[in-house]
Amino acid sequence: MVKRYLTSNQGTPVGDDQHSLTVGERGPILLTDTVYLEKIAQFDRERIPERAFHAKGAGAYGYFVPYRSFASLTKAGFLQDPEKATPVFTRFSLAGGSSGGADTVRDVRGFAVKFYTEEGNYDLICNHIPVFPLRDPLQFPDFVHAVKPDPIANIRGGPIAASRFWDFVSLRPESMNFLIYLFSDLGTVRSYRTIPGFGINTYKWVNLRGEETYIRYYWEPCAGVEYIDSKTAAHLAGTDPDVASRDLFDTLAAGNSVEFEMRVQTIKPELECEQPFDILDPTLIWPEHMYPLIPVGRMVLNKNPENFFAEVEQSAFSPAAIVPGIGFSNDRILQGRIFPYGDTQRYRIGPNYLELPVNMPRHPVDNKMQDGPMRSGYSTDIANYLPNTLSGGMPAEAPEKGNPPQEYISGCVGRQEIAGDDYYQPGCTYRNMSGPEKNRLVSNIMESLSQAYEPIQRRMIDHFMRTDQEFGCRIAQKLSLIP
């Protein structure tokens, strides 16, 4: 019998496709990581033309105004003047379902905001759950495969679907925090107006002096956070599957606005290693009692799109779209998201997707890129290359404000698991729940986990026991399995 081993699409052996190639344990991912690039590029092209993830959504236009100047933390222009409003477009979405799915099913909701700033577009990608299920982006295609219908029968529900999902997360204990939030009351909602948004990843704010601050974003709905129970969610999925999209559209069509407050948590980079947990780990929250939320400004959504396909379906977001004053940390998930979002849009919409009105920067674009399908903007210069002495010669140097601070990085290149096994932080979340909230959490988990195969159930019980003894025992008793 021929021994099988993992290979690339070229047939070359792959020793590890679970850990990205980084500079040291905490350094950035390298562009020379051909295993990651091949895996993520292949994943980006799996669906035509529906988004592979966050397929169903709704959108709205509006504006954002900061409460005060945040010049001490960032040089980003849209965060300097409380008298100046920045136009925005926001898309809410369901992560795992298809474009024909129901709005109320248990799932992650996307919350993406495009700021049309005078320094270019800034895209802030958020979810309505504060943590990610993974630490390394190389595992992301596997996660999406696990939550999508199986490739044989293409069926979303039932024992096979449940076993696929729970099998994957039972083998990735860092997903425990994510599971607690997904199966809590927050997992089922009926309105996009009343969901929170979490940036999940750790970004950097940089001021004019080059001083850096780690930050995490949070959107608080001004109407308050609301949710529905699983029975109501199932009922609405059958009677009004577009309830969240309808609610948002009808609210704005009636002349009412939808408002969210932006808040951030901050930590100085020099204090990174002094924290009680890895602050760059997106599977962990930053506890608010340790890192208080700072109010930043308010987003007001007040206008519906005029055409769903042109403006919502063709809207495109990418964490790579940043402006001076905002940068990337070495959060592996954030590093891994920089490339595939734009790559997916070039495949899904076309290489000139940024020329569509909903995606087009309000700031003038000037470079030597050219041609491709659906190109509308063009240059009349004869010299379509740099450097040149024709057509006005070399462009002016970018303003100093646009130059990122220099960073020294060193370390051994290799594939390695992120150190630390703080998988069970959600035990605190569970213990802080009320009695009814705990009951609903256990019930929601049982609806799904009870359909999975027994060996998988036992693995999950072990994780739940490690999270909280009472929590694990309750699940075990419900499954009639003695831990």
Binding-site residue set: 341
CA distances, 338 to each of 1, 124, 254 (Å): 42, 12, 38
Cα–Cα distance for residue pair 325/117, rounded to 1 Å? 12
Question: Is-catalytic flag, 432?
Answer: no
Cα–Cα distance for residue pair 116/475, rounded to 1 Å? 48
One DSSP character per residue, 379-405 reads: ---S--SSS-SSTT-SPPPPPGGGSPP
Extract the tokens encoding 171. Answer: 């083998």
- Strand, helix or coil for residue 303: strand
How far is the first Cα of the chain from the last one, in angstroms, to the nearest whole number? 38
DSSP-assigned letter for residue 420: -
- As to burial, measured by CB atoms within 10 angstroms (0-12 exposed, 13-18 middle, 19+ buried), residue 221 is buried
Radius of gyration in angstroms for the set of CA atoms belonging to the chain, rounded to a whole number = 23
Q: Which residues pair with 89 in a beta bridge?
A: 61, 114
Residue type, 185: D
Exactly one of 54, 177, 304, 444 is catalytic; name it.
54
Torsion on CA atoms 114, 118, 119, 124, rounded to nearest 10: -20
Place of tokens 């930043």: 296
* Residues contacting 412, CB < 8 A, separation 6+: 23, 24
- Strand, helix or coil for residue 300: strand
> Are the C-beta atoms of residues 343 and 41 closer than 8 Å to each other?
yes
Question: Which residues are documented as binding site for heme?
Answer: 341
Length of the chain: 483
CA angle 219, 190, 449 (to 5 degrees): 95
Exactly one of 9, 19, 121, 127 is catalytic; name it.
127
Residue type, 276: P
In 11-160, beta strands by DSSP E: 21-23, 56-66, 86-94, 109-117, 120-127
Look at residues 323, 281, 338 and name the one whose alpha carbon lies nearest to residue 31: 338
Cα–Cα distance for residue pair 364/366, rounded to 1 Å? 7
> Are the C-beta atoms of residues 62 and 257 closer than 8 Å to each other?
yes
Cα–Cα distance for residue pair 110/102, rounded to 1 Å? 14
Question: Is-catalytic flag, 54?
Answer: yes
Report, as residue numbers or ranges, the catalytic residues.
54, 127
